[in-house]
């Protein structure tokens, strides 16, 4: 599902450089990534999602060569393949929670919003315990509720690859377990691959494999 070799990406003004020598994730595998903040974990997820372009290196995701796609191609790739749970939720303020969950269908890109999709959104919201909050806008929701909306939005398209960036950081322990049950159950149903960054060591037993980010990442200056 993911094949990366000698990836580099820099934020020159921030003086930050990411270098991933090799990352391979099999289809259906559930992989956790741990590591200190500020080291480039979110940046790596952005590259895998096609939200950022590597400066150099090879990156294939779901049989797409991301280095060969233009902006439009990467957007279509993302809509079709990726469910991204952002660390900062990235909900749309002027839409209510239900509309936020359905957001991928608003953007178009070949996805059709029909009754099945709406029913699936309702079912996801119920499973995540936010069905009673669906008319509320993000600014009226707690952090944990916003996070659950973001998780529902990432799952609504039944993506082949779920990228989760600290997806349980704002949830109390009980809610966290419920939400993870939903996430892993949906992933298993769909045969989806999960790549999840987490600081929560309680979650690690849920993954097939846990990668210490430091073993992937080498500062560019040490490899040149
Ligand atoms: P992590 O997710 O491991 O905490 P990030 O990938 O978010 O790390 O960030 C890695 C480094 O890149 C940090 O030093 C951060 O300040 C910098 N950075 C992240 N996003 C941007 C950006 N959009 N512009 C400039 N620098 C950035
Ligand atoms: Mg991060």
pLDDT exceeds 70 at position 85: yes
In sequence order, which residues have a C-beta less than 8 Å from that of residue 163 and are 6 or more positions away?
Answer: 45, 48, 49, 82, 83, 84, 85, 154, 195, 196
CATH classification of the domain holding 207: 3.40.50.300
* Pocket probe mutation, ligand 1, options 7, 13, 14, 169, max atoms within 8 Å of Cβ: 14
pLDDT exceeds 60 at position 104: yes
pLDDT exceeds 80 at position 224: no
Instruction: Determine the atom of ligand 1 nearest the C-alpha atom of 13.
Output: 25
The residues with which 8 forms a beta bridge, in sequence order, are 19, 56
Instruction: Compute the mean pLDDT over every residue in the chain, rounded to the nearest whole number.
Output: 92
Residue in the block written with tokens 């992989």: 31
Q: Please give all residues whose beta carbon lies within 6 A of any atom in ligand 1, as ranges.
A: 11, 14, 16, 37-43
Total number of domains constituting the chain? 1
- The confidence score (pLDDT) of residue 219 equals 52
> In which domain, by residue range, is 130 found?
2-221
- The confidence score (pLDDT) of residue 223 equals 44
pLDDT, tens only, 188-216 = 998 999 999 998 888 899 999 999 999 98
Full-model pTM: 0.93
pLDDT exceeds 80 at position 222: no
* Buried b or exposed e, range 27-40, using 16+ CB within 10 angstroms: eebbbbbbbeeebb
Question: What is the spatial order of strands in the sheet that 2-11 belongs to?
Answer: 16-25, 2-11, 56-61, 64-65
């Amino acid at each position: 599902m993911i094949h990366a070799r000698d990836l580099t990406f820099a934020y020159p003004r921030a003086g930050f450089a990411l270098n991933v020598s090799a990352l391979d994730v099999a289809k259906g595998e559930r992989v956790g990534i741990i590591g200190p903040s500020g080291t480039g974990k979110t940046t790596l997820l952005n590259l895998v999602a096609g939200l950022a372009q590597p400066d150099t290196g090879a990156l294939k995701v779901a049989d797409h060569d991301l280095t060969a796609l233009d902006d439009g191609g990467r957007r279509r790739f993302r809509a079709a393949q990726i469910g991204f749970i952002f660390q900062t939720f990235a909900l749309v303020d002027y839409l209510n929670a239900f509309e936020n969950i359905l957001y991928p269908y608003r953007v178009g890109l070949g996805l059709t919003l029909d009754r099945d999709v709406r029913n699936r959104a309702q079912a996801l919201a119920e499973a995540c315990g936010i069905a009673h909050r669906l008319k509320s806008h993000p600014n009226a929701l707690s952090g944990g509720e916003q996070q659950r909306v973001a998780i529902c939005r990432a799952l609504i398209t039944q993506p082949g690859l779920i990228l989760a960036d600290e997806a349980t950081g704002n949830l109390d322990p009980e809610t966290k377990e419920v939400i993870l049950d939903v996430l892993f159950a949906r992933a298993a149903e769909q045969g989806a691959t999960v790549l999840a960054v987490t600081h929560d060591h309680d979650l690690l037993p849920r993954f097939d494999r846990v990668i210490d980010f430091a073993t992937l990442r080498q500062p560019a200056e040490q490899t040149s």
